[in-house]
Amino acid sequence: MTLLDGLEKELRKVCPGLELRKNEPMSRHTTFRVGGPAALMALPRGEEAKAVMEAAFRCNVTPFFLGNGSNLLVSDQGYDGFVVKLSGTYGEGEVYDNELMVGGAMLLSRAANLALEHGLTGLEWAAGIPGTVGGAVTMNAGAYGGEIAQVLHQVNALDYDSRLTVVQNKECDFSYRHSAFSDGRRLILEALFLLTPGDPAAIKERMEGLAAQRKAKQPLEYPSAGSTFKRPPPQSDGTAVYAAALIDQCGLKGLTVGGAQVSEKHAGFIINKGGATCRDILELMEEVKRRVLEETGMALEPEVKTLGV
């Protein structure tokens, strides 16, 4: 019996109502729409999350925590481990005055709209981001001058040994696309945001304006993982450098490997034009990195994470 077999048996015993899936296609759980099967996936609701973590710890199995898969590229062969994806009440949220408490499985865009419904400002920039709150906190997601670090107050998370920890903003070690959760060793259950009362009409106008910018500039009609590469460090004189501009400068828009393509609309996006595989996307990423380094001297670092590769 393998460790995963033992874990499955344990989970079915201690959590008889838990949704468990074997050989679950990860293409259903990533915005790239690629990826082979995960050997075992649990989708805990409520108190099931703690039981799942306890069982995994007892069975010596390290879980991979999955959000919306909006920054993830999974191997064509899949992942031979254990995936945990929160569901149920973890996709819900509540508002108390200017505090927004939301589950880790809630889409960040939904959290932004919940804030709008209650006349709270601070998350307008997040309305078009396809990730979950848990994933957004993990990578300190940001756009249009806003980022998670600016509005997060605290996080409720489960450690690998199932201990509940409350992590304050100052303990989150936020930096560009990084946090204390980036090592993947804690499952984010809930996040508490501190927002500011504002004019709902102005908040809505700001969100609609940003949505129009995204639609005009980004290839939203194709599966992708958003920005493929991180923003490079500024030049020695402080001048900002952008991955998309470097890729465009090298004439790489439209470059294709199999079903993967550097978007002709936004060079910072690698898109699935149809039938792309993980291998296609990785090969295209490597070619883009090679050409940019060769022609500009700048080394691009992937923002997209990989699993099973």
CB 86 within 8 A of CB 43: yes
- Is 65 a residue whose pLDDT tops 80? yes
The domains of the chain, with CATH numbers, are 3-85 (3.30.43.10), 91-202 (3.30.465.10), 219-307 (3.90.78.10)
| Token code pair at residue 17 | 């109502």
The pTM assigned to this predicted structure is 0.94
Q: Indicate the DSSP class of residue 124.
A: G
**Inter-axis angle of helices 108-117 and 200-217, nearest 10:** 150
Instruction: Write the DSSP string, 24-38.
Output: EEGGGSSTT----EE
Element holding 291 (H helix, E strand): helix 278-296
Q: How far, CA to CA in Å, does 112 sit from each of 195, 198, 225, 255? A: 11, 13, 20, 35
The pLDDT of 3-30, averaged and rounded, is: 96
- Check if the beta carbon of residue 227 is closer than 8 Å to that of residue 268: yes
Specify the 3-state DSSP secondary structure of 177.
coil
What's residue 4's pLDDT? 95
The answer to whether residue 94 is catalytic is no
Per the prediction, the chain carries an average pLDDT of 96
- Identify the CA nearest to 196 among candidates 308, 54, 99: 99
Residue 108 pLDDT = 96
Q: Which of 33, 177, 186, 206 is catalytic?
A: 177
Residue 106 and residue 133 in contact, taking contact as beta carbons nearer than 8 Å: yes
Would residue 45 show up in a list of annotated catalytic residues for this protein? no
Q: pLDDT tens-digit profile of 166-198?
A: 999 999 999 999 999 999 999 999 999 999 999
Contact call for residues 228 and 302 (beta carbons, < 8 A):
yes
Contact 39, 79 (CB under 8 A): yes
pLDDT value for 222 = 97
Q: Which of 27, 70, 227, 263 is catalytic?
A: 227
Per DSSP (E only), the strands in the chain are 19-25, 37-43, 63-65, 72-74, 79-84, 93-96, 99-103, 120-121, 142-143, 146-147, 152-159, 164-168, 186-194, 196-197, 224-227, 256-257, 260-262, 269-272, 305-307
- For residue 29, what are the CA distances in angstroms to 40, 97, 217? 13, 34, 25
pLDDT at 193: 98
pLDDT at residue number 299: 95
pLDDT per position as a tens digit, 251-280:
999 999 999 999 999 999 999 999 999 999
Average pLDDT over residues 14-28: 96
pLDDT of residue 234: 84
Rounded percentage of the chain residues whose pLDDT exceeds 70: 100
Residue found under tokens 């700001």? 206
Active site residue 303: yes
pLDDT band, very low/low/confident/very high, at 161 (cuts 50, 70, 90) = confident
Question: CA separation (Å) from 154 to 62, 93, 140, 252?
Answer: 25, 15, 13, 41
Question: Mind listing the pLDDT tens digit for each residue in 192-251?
Answer: 999 999 999 999 999 999 999 999 999 999 999 999 999 998 887 878 889 999 999 999
CB-side neighbour CA atoms (13 Å) of 244 = 13
